[in-house]
Structure 1
Amino acid sequence: MTAPRRIVALADTDSYVKWAAALLGTLDAGWDASILVVETPLVVSDPQLDAALSGSDLPSDRVSRVGWDALTPRLSTLGADVVVLAGRGPLVRVLAREVATLSPRPVIVAGLPGISIPATRKAIAYRAQADLFVLHSHRECRDFAALSVERGMPQRFALATLPFARGGAELSQTPKGTDLIFAPQAKVPADRPDRMRIARLLVRTADADPSRRVVVKLRAERGEQQTHAERDAYPDLLASLGPLPPNLVTSTASMHRALDRAEGLVTVSSTAAIEAIARGIPVIALDTFGVAPELINEVMADAGLLSGEQDVVARRFRHPDAAWLDDNYFHDAADDDWTTCTAELVAERRGGTLEPKSPLARRGGALRDAWERKSVLGPLDRTFAGAVAMVIGMPLRFAVRVLQRLRDLVMVPRTAAR
């Protein structure tokens, strides 16, 4: 009898723990799946962890926390065939180096937890040491594959239905709730005036119909961390507007539970829109700030989900164009190949033929490695090398940024002259 393939995900922040739990929860009995929540400065709190696991099929007793110093020994004890690196790019790069030191080296899988259009060079570069890069739509796979060839960074990509998009059979269902759910993002939009404009829009929407709630679905309580640092959080912005309508509320419940009471969802470009669509809940992707790569909303525009503030106030939600679905997150599950690709890599590993991948070549050697580890672990990295790298690296980093700004200032007049 063949031993189950042992797969362990390493994750730290709310969105990546949620993604890892949902992804591993789809595996069949031929896999022994678990998650190690790695202690970093952005690690999930216990309430965030509970919310992240809600709605996944991964039992909570398959999830445990681990400190950085104990991580490599723990992985050695587990004897994982596969390690899924579920984290921000800088952390994945550091984790990949650690995992690659294990003997025998596990298959390294990496991925992104949500909408990943446009494809970016950084996303590939950070995950260069992974044997497999999991994406969630035919379009993403095409775009990332083309970019990896263009930039000379060979990578193998695989398709997996976005865990929150499982539920295509429900696409035609009519929502039974009455809440307007607003899904904020830490980095989109980035500027305070734009975020304040959304806050005022939420107040106007609540005032327009006091009988129905407007729910701001927060990712964290005050003091908790998120995948991306958030400035100008919506609770603070709303508080600055004075007394609020009683039907405008905030919630830190899981998105899965929030959508149980939803009439529709409003966002700029959050992956929560995909989760809503999968449950037949219509969406408004706010077009107030235009369409741009930095807004991560090009894919929303292609879906026909963009709409303005008046439609938000009137709750005129939209369903995506049917032609958009198959190429964008709602493909046939039979197209998924990430488990097949991973199983093939495990067979190579067990057969001793899996060739390890190297990280991208870069300057700095061991000092650069120490700097990168210190950058993602902060005070949790207590190594002497990390302290030295920080002392040397911070002034160098500042100098490089100053030179880049000076170069940009010089280039602007030249560009204008052309």
Structure 2
Amino acid sequence: MSARLRVVAIADADSFVKWSASLLSGVDGIRRHLLIVSTPLTVSREQERTALAGTGFTDAEVTRLSFDEVRGWLAGHQPDAVVLAGRGAFVRLIGGQIDRLERRPVVVGGLPGMSIPAQRGALEYRRHCDLVVLHSHRERRAFAELGTRIGVDVPLGLATLPYARSSLVERAAPASFVEREARGETLSRSQTRPDSRVLAQRMTVRTEERAETLRPPATDLVFASQAMVPVERHERAAIAEILVRAAEANPRRRVVVKLRSRRGEAETHLERDAYADLFASRPANLVFSYQPMVVALERAEGLVTVSSTAAIEALAAGVPVIALDTFGVRKSLLNTVFIGSGLLGSGEEVVRRQFRHPHPGWMWENYFHPASESGWWSDVEKLIAQRRAGTLAPRPVPQPRAGALHAAWHRKSVLGSTDRSLAGAVALAVGTPLVRGILSRRRAATDTWSETGTDYTLEPAPHVDSLRR
């Protein structure tokens, strides 16, 4: 396409702002923009600066606006494609506004980090998208299997996880594969999978190069906190205790608790027991940090998490990881993705700082495929061409099953206090108990959350995480 395409990301919460801006920053030659929509989850100005660090987005490329202003803005600017970056209900609500446009852009959905297990709601809420972007071969396979189970057919595109973009990804691709692909040769799956010995050698080189160039010395133990994992207070308190012990074991080296929000700020998921409140006392070398993860990793000797996507960001930067398995390995902890990675470790190993790099055989399936395999943007360009030719079949947002009351509840549940309509207030009061009952029945129907042989789930998440705050 000769003309520069105009692509707009629409987001609200911190992780989705970071993901969508980072995703678009990897596409050359486009006119990009970011709309931040006002909801109870919307990033603060400080969170916005942190989320956009390293993306190259300027103030002129970011617009904050209310939900009711979205359709008018899109009608006036007529983007070629939009990236809907928010939780499922937000994506569906914005999708309904896009359906009302006279000139409908290509609609791209996606998830902001590791998405194993593939969850039913994640796909159901994005079934109207022309393309859903995922970040690993394993994720694509899981969501394809999930779609077959629930009867949802959505095109799935593969992207490099934006935070994992580094020379490590390209180093992981054997040169012979890249050269043969460039010549247009058809390769089998076994041929396209990078050789494990090559991966190991190139990861070692990358780590050694990083150690030589880092200033100041990389001595921090960085803990990537998560709002929902683990969810129980006693489990989160146990992690706090492990971090205190790690700090006391090495008084000259910092333990950095990397937090996502300050008091009064929202996150994508509701955090009920914030780590900042779980330390009755802490050593002087245990500190809290709100800086961008990319900055925190510059001084990181290693990273610790339960299942944060920060693990992939760290590995891409050559920083070894411990994926904490103190509470087990199961879908509800979102850490089954690390099975076979060699990254799982105990609290005692955290205290001893026994960080590790992943087994090379795990990498190709899980986020470290060669960038040349990430064809999501090529998929978008083809969709735009189809739309211009009038051959792209419409994928409208499904109408609410319970009519206007259901639609009002949906809007109110996403927009919270910014929706001041009487219909929204009534729908919320009537609909919330009904929705809780429906979710409870669905959880009791089957139990794919406890299955060990699949990478997807069919029921709602075990723990309720309301959009409202």
TM-score between the two structures when normalised by the length of structure 1: 0.93
**Could you tell me how far apart the structure 1 residues matched to 2:37 and 2:397 are?**
21
SS in 1 for 2:118: coil
Q: Is 1:228–2:269 an aligned residue pair? A: yes
**Could you tell me how far apart the structure 1 residues matched to 2:130 and 2:302 are?**
39
Q: Is 1:208–2:242 an aligned residue pair? A: no
Q: List alignment gaps of at least 5 residues for structure 1.
A: 409-418
> How far has the Cα of 1:278 moved from its partner?
0.2
Change (3 A) 1:124 1:402: closer
> How far has the Cα of 1:99 moved from its partner?
1.2
**Could you tell me how far apart the structure 1 residues matched to 2:441 and 2:135 are?**
38
> How far has the Cα of 1:189 moved from its partner?
0.3
Residue 317 of structure 1 is matched in structure 2 by 355
Residue 253 of structure 1 is matched in structure 2 by 291
**Could you tell me how far apart the structure 2 residues matched to 1:159 and 1:205 are?**
38
**Could you tell me how far apart the structure 2 residues matched to 1:229 and 1:284 are?**
24
Match of 1:179 among 220, 226, 236: 220
**Could you tell me how far apart the structure 2 residues matched to 1:112 and 1:396 are?**
28
SS in 1 for 2:390: coil
For 1:14, give the aligned amino acid. Answer: D
**Could you tell me how far apart the structure 2 residues matched to 1:263 and 1:140 are?**
29
Residue 102 of structure 2 is matched in structure 1 by 103
Residue 112 of structure 1 is matched in structure 2 by 111
For 1:214, give the aligned amino acid. Answer: V
> How far has the Cα of 1:398 moved from its partner?
5.4
Change (3 A) 1:155 1:406: closer
CA RMSD between the two structures: 1.9
Superposed, which structure 2 residues align to 1:78-227 within 5 Å? 78-167=77-166, 168=168, 169=171, 171=203, 172-174=206-208, 175=211, 176=214, 177-227=218-268
**Could you tell me how far apart the structure 1 residues matched to 2:443 and 2:21 are?**
41
Aligned 8 A contact 1:8 1:35 in 2: yes
**Could you tell me how far apart the structure 1 residues matched to 2:415 and 2:358 are?**
40
Superposed, which structure 2 residues align to 1:320-399 within 5 Å? 320-360=358-398, 363-397=401-435
For 1:22, give the aligned amino acid. Answer: S
Greater alpha carbon shift after TM alignment, 344-353 vs 270-279? 344-353
Residue 19 of structure 2 is matched in structure 1 by 19
SS in 2 for 1:350: helix
Match of 1:237 among 250, 271, 278: 278
Aligned 8 A contact 2:400 2:407 in 1: no
> How far has the Cα of 1:3 moved from its partner?
2.7
Residue 58 of structure 1 is matched in structure 2 by 57
Residue 416 of structure 1 is matched in structure 2 by none
Aligned 8 A contact 1:24 1:58 in 2: no
**Could you tell me how far apart the structure 2 residues matched to 1:115 and 1:293 are?**
12
TM-score between the two structures when normalised by the length of structure 2: 0.83
Superposed, which structure 2 residues align to 1:266-285 within 5 Å? 266-285=304-323
SS in 2 for 1:158: strand
SS in 2 for 1:302: coil
Aligned 8 A contact 1:132 1:155 in 2: yes
Q: List alignment gaps of at least 5 residues for structure 2.
A: 172-201, 447-469
For 2:230, give the aligned amino acid. Answer: P
Change (3 A) 1:278 1:95: same
CA deviation map 1:40-86 (0-9, x unaligned): 11100111000000121333421121111211101111101111100
For 1:275, give the aligned amino acid. Answer: E
